[in-house]
Amino acid sequence: MKRIITSALISVVCLCSAYAQQPYFATEELPDLVQCLPAPPKKGSPEFRYDVQRYRWGKAQRKDPERAAMARRDAIWSLDTTLVVLGEPFGIKVSMDDTPAIYEVLTRGITTIENIRFKPKAHYFRIRPFAYFKEPSIFPQDDEWLATEGSYPSGHTIRAWACALLMAEINPACAEAVFARAWASGESRVISGCHWQSDVDASRPAASIGYARLQASAAFRAQMALAQEEFRRLASPDQGGREHFVKISDVIPDVILEIRYYSTHNFVGRRIDGYLAPTAMLTRQAADSLKVVSDELKARGYRLKIYDAYRPQCAVDHFVRWAADVPDTLMKRCFYPDVDKSRLFELEFIMEKSGHTRGSTVDLTLFDMAAGKDLDMGGPFDWFGEESHPDYTGITPEQFANRMILRDAMLRHGFKPLDSEWWHFTLKNEPFPDTYFNFPVY
């Protein structure tokens, strides 16, 4: 009976999907995944035991409010939502009105590729993890109808991976970032309890098989060319520019990264928009100069620890929205206990533009290799107050001397300081003094 219900549901979804966006190929023209992919793991097999282990991992991840919120967002079955989720790493906002060629090739392409899931879902009709364990998923209100559809493979993961494949073809520079986000979207399905890990693992090659079939469509190839041209026309300096940047860890392999805005340990208390990975990026010129600083200080027993470097404009916009929300004082005790949040703009702790967004500014401290800990700088990173001024005299002579070790080395090798933050330095001859970039940190 369940198979009949599922087949009927599949037919309805097929019709709705086709009505919304005409696919480049009919479902029956797509490769049969039952013939392409292995069957899902059998109960009792090592692969199934791994599925169970990953289900438990997913349940533990739900305790992280931020990750749980991402899983809920990734579960929304809407093409427009998928385009919004992956649109940030893609580089430009995708919409029917503003990017018609890109919108058409993405929506038609995704619709075509995701239809490849129907045959294996109906053939295997695999029980979903939450139903197997008789536990609620992260979306208990949907559990009843989700249980009527097979679990293998994951349609959500196919959709996200298909979107990433298409976006990377339109804008190759976004490939790393957009695939990282699509990978996280697949993990969201495990976290939700709606899919086994093996469902998700099978879905990425499934999407790639559909994407390969798509290349045989003359209509798709013509539309893709229009989309690529539209992207080249619309991409402006603040949306592109990745080719001018490098990861600091690629230039300084032993650098220590503590990217606060990727974490929740920052003055907002949440991960900041635009930080897709705990990575630090700089323009090539700034990174090369920082390498010289690192070499000098390493000879003296210190390693560089980076808190932040390139910061996309969307992250700055996040700070502005947070500052305007005066009642939100979650992290006040840790970062600005003596400052009235309503005065953050007036006191210039928060501004609508940041030198970080130009790509040649870095926030950092020093790690003492002999002591195995950070040098004591007399105040924490991102403290809102005069204690953060490099020349503040209310600290010990040793703390002040430590600040000067960092400051003097940075100044010797082409950086200039900021008079209100001991950790903040900008390359004097920055290559993009008037450009504010907006691609994500990945």
- Reduced to 3 states (helix: H, G, I; strand: E, B; else coil), residue 282 is strand
> pLDDT at position 179, please?
95
> pLDDT at position 237, please?
45
pLDDT reading at 9 higher than 50: no
Q: How high is the mean pLDDT of the chain?
A: 92
Q: What are the tens digits of pLDDT across the range 84-142?
A: 999 888 877 898 988 999 999 999 999 999 999 999 999 999 999 999 999 999 988 88
> pLDDT at position 1, please?
32
Structural contact between residues 383 and 335, judged by C-beta atoms closer than 8 angstroms = yes
Lowest mean per-residue pLDDT among 137-141, 191-195, 291-295, 350-354: 137-141
Q: Closest Cα to residue 202, out of 157, 241, 135? A: 157
Tell me the C-alpha distance between 182 and 74, whole Å.
10
Phi, psi of 73, deg, nearest 5 = -65, -40
User: DSSP code of 428?
Assistant: T
> pLDDT at position 436, please?
92
Tell me the C-alpha distance between 342 and 239, whole Å.
31
User: DSSP code of 312?
Assistant: -
Tell me the C-alpha distance between 46 and 338, whole Å.
56
Phi, psi of 394, deg, nearest 5 = -85, 20
> pLDDT at position 279, please?
92
Tell me the C-alpha distance between 248 and 304, whole Å.
11
- Report CA 183 to chain centroid distance, whole Å: 10
Q: What mean pLDDT comes out for the span 179-194?
A: 96
Q: What is the pTM of this model?
A: 0.60
> C-alpha angle 249/316/421, rounded to 5°?
70
> pLDDT at position 7, please?
35
pLDDT reading at 25 higher than 70: yes
**Token duo for residue 99:** 């990017």
pLDDT reading at 190 higher than 70: yes
Number of C-beta neighbours around residue 142 at 10 A: 15
Q: What are the tens digits of pLDDT across the range 222-251?
A: 999 999 998 888 765 445 688 899 999 999
- Site of tokens 């008789």: 134
Lowest mean per-residue pLDDT among 82-86, 332-336, 376-380: 82-86
Task: Give 90-107 as a DSSP string.
Answer: HSS---TTT-HHHHHHHH
pLDDT reading at 18 higher than 80: no
Q: What are the tens digits of pLDDT across the range 37-71?
A: 999 999 999 999 999 999 999 999 999 998 999 99
Domain annotation for the chain: domains and CATH numbers: 2-234 (1.20.144.10), 242-427 (3.30.1380.10)
Tell me the C-alpha distance between 58 and 193, whole Å.
7
pLDDT reading at 3 higher than 50: no
Q: What mean pLDDT comes out for the span 379-408?
A: 97
Number of C-beta neighbours around residue 134 at 10 A: 6
| Catalytic site residue from 47, 258, 421, 430 | 421
Structural contact between residues 130 and 143, judged by C-beta atoms closer than 8 angstroms = yes
H helix or E strand, kind and range, residue 256: strand 256-257
Structural contact between residues 264 and 270, judged by C-beta atoms closer than 8 angstroms = yes
Q: Closest Cα to residue 174, out of 357, 356, 360, 440? A: 440
> pLDDT at position 434, please?
92
Tell me the C-alpha distance between 169 and 250, whole Å.
25
H helix or E strand, kind and range, residue 406: helix 397-412
Strands 281-283 and 256-257: unpaired
> pLDDT at position 235, please?
67
**Token duo for residue 411:** 């100044």
User: Quick check: is 421 catalytic?
Assistant: yes
Tell me the C-alpha distance between 337 and 335, whole Å.
6
**Token duo for residue 356:** 């970080």
Q: What are the tens digits of pLDDT across the range 268-322?
A: 999 898 887 889 999 999 999 999 999 999 999 999 999 999 999 989 999 999 9
- Report CA 343 to chain centroid distance, whole Å: 31
Task: Give 330-390 as a DSSP string.
Answer: TTHHHH-TTS-GGGTTTTTSS-S--GGGGT-EEEEEEEETTTTEE---SS-TT--SGGGST
pLDDT band at 203 (very low <50, low <70, confident <90, very high): very high
